[in-house]
Every structure is written in structure tokens, then in C-alpha cells.
């Protein structure tokens, strides 16, 4: 049985029909990781623990006992998610020996529904730059929960405050979030139902209950208003043009909108993330927390050596830049202005979302990097939920569709996501 093209509901169906056992599935994944030379992308794997849990789930299923909604389903997490008793480094030498005494809230919720954590993916240091997986690599990986990684066909970034960040070693406080990425929109909805919702351990958590995110056949797509920034239209791309023409026929497409200050988005994002990162990493001093240098003269020398030896180049540059931005010289000139730009952009997005339910952002390889980065920063700056659908033209030209809605509108966002997935990933692939 091939496991690579199966989504969660299909695997659960095989479990129920006795067509496959969880233990066999876990073994197949680990064998695939080895055969495809993917073991190097893991920071740590939980083979023994995963097999033991799979055996227990198989036995309980055979006895007809009640199981969780993800019973026997393999999940991968990123290396910045705290796991009790297991190494968690966030990709940094600063945390090379850190073993958390507790599980992150999302781990408790996943395991509470009997998901099986296979291991932790390596990430760039504190995920300052999202990890990119080659197309051929991502198809061998199950659903990923954690910081942003790029490679799977679909992913979702929930609204800020919907998913608990307790136990997540984040680079920033107001701009980071938990991402779910995988093979299908259905998988995204199911995982979000489980990990979303209020958590008293997280001060940023919003007291809101998650609802059912399963596909609804009665979703009124003809009545949906979708806005597309006018500067993203008119590309000479037949597949993208065909898709947009299809949208015109099935939804109310608003094509004359623009986000006036979008050109400042990625710059404001960089300034704000740098300032927050510099502030958040001040606790890593070699005394109270983090890597400790072995040879030092005094307390100040210990502090300098510990940080110098353990932070990577990108982290050091971000800390130096960030400390300047939040210092007396740079705060008013750059940091405060970036906060103001963030507020302006959010106001412009709110105005658009007051006239339509969604903003659709198509990005293709031929766009200049600055424009793409500006639009990619939009969901993080606003804190709004975003779905990403990735597909390819002529097996090489990559197109990303970013879909944004107002906060806590994940249910509607996913319903439109199901439609786009059907049109792009299913019908498109079947048509070659």
C-alpha cells in the first residue's frame, strides 16, 4: 500500500476496514524516511515510542475500545515545539541540550486524540527563515504541525490567538504562529479542530471555541465575494488566467482593489520581527538559560562568550539590528513607524474585507521577489488567518494562492479552500 498520497480520512478508513494497522503504517513511514534518505531532515525521531503507541492503538481498536479522532495517525512537528523529556533546540546551538520538563499545549491536544508523533523536523535557527522542502521530499512526509515550513500542497496559518503558543519557542511574540501543512484541506480542518481553542496557559489565547471545519456541500460559493489586488492581475499565464476566469463564473470577483501601503509590508515586518527577536532572546545569557561558555573571566565575559559561541550568523545580525531598532536612537525613527505602517495596512485590509469576505493573492515565480515578500507578510502583520495552496505548471512553474479572511473566520476560509483545492489540485492534475 502506498502511503504517500493518502490523507488522514483515507488512512482512518483503512484502519476501520482492517486494511492496514497503525503499527504497519508507522513502520512504513520510517522505512520510507530511510530509503529516501530523509533521515537527515529530522532533528530527532521517536521510533520506539511511536511503535509502542501504535501497538497500543491497534490493540484497543481490535477490542472495540473508544479511541481519539486521530488514533494511529502519524504527525511530524518542528524542532521548536516543546516535548517533555525530549530534545528541543529550535535549530540553535543556544538550546543544544535543552530538554523541556513539559509538553506544548498542541502536543497535549494531538496526543489526547491518539495521534502518533514520528519526530521533529530540523528548522533554521529559531525559524527566522522558513524551511523550504524540495517538491519530491514533501510528498513523503505526513502532516506537519509547528512553525512555517514550505513544501506541502496546502497549509493554513490560523488567526493569532486561536491556537495556543504555550510551549512554542518562537522568535517573536506578536507575529509568529502555529502552521499546519499537509496533503489536503480536509487534513488542515481536522487538525485545526483539535489544536485550536482557548488555553489558559497562553496569555495571547482568545477565548473562542473551534467549530467543525469539515466540508459543507451547501456552502454558497456563488454568493461569495473575493477581492484580488489589481496589481496581481494580467500575468501571461494560461493556467492562472483559466483559474481566475473560472472564479469569475462561480463567485463575485472584485478586481479593482489595492492595498495602498503594501509596498512597505515586508520592510515593516522585518523591522518588527527583528525588534521582537532581540527582546525575546535577551534571556539567553548563559547564566539563567541557554548555552553556557566553558572559559570566561567574569560575568560579563560569560555573557558575551555564551551568546557569541551559540548564536548563528543570521540570529546575531537580527539581534544587533533589532537592538538598534528598539533602542533610543532607532525606536521613533524606525520601530514606531513600522508599528504605524502595520496599523495602516491592517486598516486597509479591514476596509477590503468589509466589502468582500476574502482576499485572494496569486503569486508566481516570474513576480519580483520584493512584491512577493510584501504579500507574503500580510497575514502575519494583520494576524488574520491564511490558507496557502501550492501547485505547478508544466512541472516547474510554481504558483501559490494565498487566501486571507478576517480573524476567526477559519470555517468560511476552509470552505472556500475546499473549492480552490478541487479546482486546482484535483481537477488540474487530472487534466495534466
Distances in whole angstroms, Cα of residue 418 to Cα of each of 111, 154, 268, 422: 26, 10, 32, 6
Q: Does domain 8-195 have CATH number 3.90.1300.10?
A: yes
Distance CA 142, CA 107 (A): 16
Cell of 20: 492496514
Distances in whole angstroms, Cα of residue 384 to Cα of each of 123, 158, 294, 346, 402: 24, 7, 44, 9, 12
Cell of 262: 503594501
DSSP codes, 206-247: --------S--TT--GGG-EEEEEGGG---S-HHHHHHHHHH
Which of 426, 430, 374 minimizes the C-alpha distance to 153? 426
Looking up cell 496599523 gives 343
Looking up cell 515545539 gives 81
pTM of the model: 0.94
Cell of 392: 505547478
pLDDT in tens, the chain (432 residues): 677 778 999 999 999 988 799 999 999 999 999 999 998 999 999 999 999 999 999 999 999 999 999 999 999 999 999 999 999 999 999 999 999 999 999 999 999 999 999 999 999 999 999 888 877 888 899 999 999 998 899 999 999 999 999 999 989 999 988 999 999 999 999 999 999 999 999 999 999 878 899 998 888 877 899 999 998 876 666 667 777 887 887 789 998 899 999 999 999 999 999 999 999 999 999 888 899 999 899 999 999 999 999 999 999 999 999 999 999 999 999 999 999 999 999 999 999 999 999 999 998 877 889 999 999 999 999 999 999 998 876 666 788 899 999 999 999 999 999 988 887 766 655 444
Residues 6+ apart with CB under 8 A from 83: 77, 100, 103, 104, 107, 117, 120
Cell of 391: 501547485
**Reduced to 3 DSSP states, what percent helix, strand and coil does the chain have, rounded to the nearest 5?**
45, 15, 40
Amino acid at each position: 500500500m502506498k502511503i504517500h498520497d493518502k490523507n488522514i480520512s483515507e488512512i482512518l478508513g483503512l484502519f476501520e476496514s482492517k486494511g492496514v494497522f497503525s503499527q504497519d503504517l508507522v513502520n512504513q513511514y520510517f522505512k520510507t524516511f530511510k530509503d529516501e534518505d530523509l533521515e537527515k531532515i529530522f532533528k530527532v525521531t521517536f521510533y520506539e515510542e511511536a511503535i509502542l503507541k501504535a501497538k497500543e492503538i491497534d490493540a484497543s481498536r481490535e477490542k472495540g475500545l473508544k479511541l481519539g479522532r486521530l488514533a494511529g495517525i502519524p504527525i511530524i512537528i518542528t524542532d521548536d515545539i516543546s516535548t517533555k523529556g525530549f530534545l528541543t533546540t529550535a535549530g540553535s546551538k543556544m538550546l543544544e541540550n535543552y530538554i523541556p520538563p513539559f509538553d506544548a499545549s498542541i502536543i497535549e491536544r494531538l496526543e489526547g486524540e491518539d495521534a502518533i508523533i514520528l519526530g521533529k523536523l530540523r528548522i533554521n535557527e529559531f525559524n527566522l527563515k522558513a524551511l523550504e522542502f524540495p517538491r519530491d521530499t514533501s510528498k513523503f512526509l505526513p502532516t506537519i504541525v509547528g512553525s512555517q515550513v514550505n513544501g506541502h500542497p496546502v497549509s493554513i496559518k490560523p488567526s493569532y490567538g486561536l491556537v495556543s503558543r504555550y510551549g512554542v519557542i518562537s522568535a517573536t511574540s506578536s507575529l509568529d504562529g502555529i502552521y499546519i501543512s499537509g496533503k489536503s484541506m480536509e487534513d488542515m480542518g481536522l487538525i485545526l479542530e483539535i489544536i485550536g481553542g482557548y488555553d489558559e496557559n497562553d496569555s495571547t489565547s482568545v477565548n473562542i471555541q473551534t467549530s467543525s471545519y469539515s466540508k459543507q456541500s451547501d456552502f454558497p460559493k456563488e454568493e461569495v465575494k473575493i477581492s484580488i489586488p489589481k496589481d496581481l492581475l494580467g500575468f501571461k499565464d494560461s493556467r492562472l488566467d483559466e483559474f481566475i476566469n473560472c472564479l469569475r463564473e462561480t463567485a463575485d470577483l472584485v478586481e479593482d482593489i489595492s492595498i495602498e501601503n503594501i509596498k512597505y509590508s515586508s520592510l515593516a515586518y522585518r523591522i518588527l520581527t527583528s525588534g521582537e527577536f532581540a527582546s525575546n532572546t535577551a534571556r539567553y545569557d548563559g547564566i539563567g538559560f541557554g548555552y553556557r561558555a566553558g572559559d570566561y573571566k567574569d560575568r560579563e565575559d560569560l555573557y558575551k562568550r555564551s551568546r557569541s559561541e551559540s548564536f548563528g550568523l543570521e540570529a546575531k545580525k537580527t539581534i544587533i539590528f533589532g537592538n538598534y531598532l528598539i533602542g533610543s536612537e532607532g525606536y521613533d525613527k524606525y520601530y514606531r513607524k513600522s508599528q504605524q505602517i502595520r496599523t495602516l495596512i491592517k486598516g486597509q485590509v479591514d476596509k477590503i474585507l468589509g466589502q468582500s469576505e476574502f482576499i485572494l493573492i496569486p503569486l508566481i515565480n516570474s513576480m519580483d521577489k520584493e512584491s512577493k515578500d510584501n504579500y507574503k507578510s500580510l497575514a502575519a502583520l494583520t494576524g488574520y488567518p491564511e490558507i496557502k495552496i501550492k501547485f505547478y505548471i508544466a512541472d516547474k512553474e510554481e504558483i501559490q494562492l494565498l487566501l486571507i479572511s478576517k480573524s476567526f473566520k477559519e470555517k468560511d476560509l476552509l470552505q472556500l479552500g475546499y473549492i480552490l483545492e478541487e479546482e486546482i489540485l484535483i481537477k488540474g492534475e487530472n487534466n495534466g
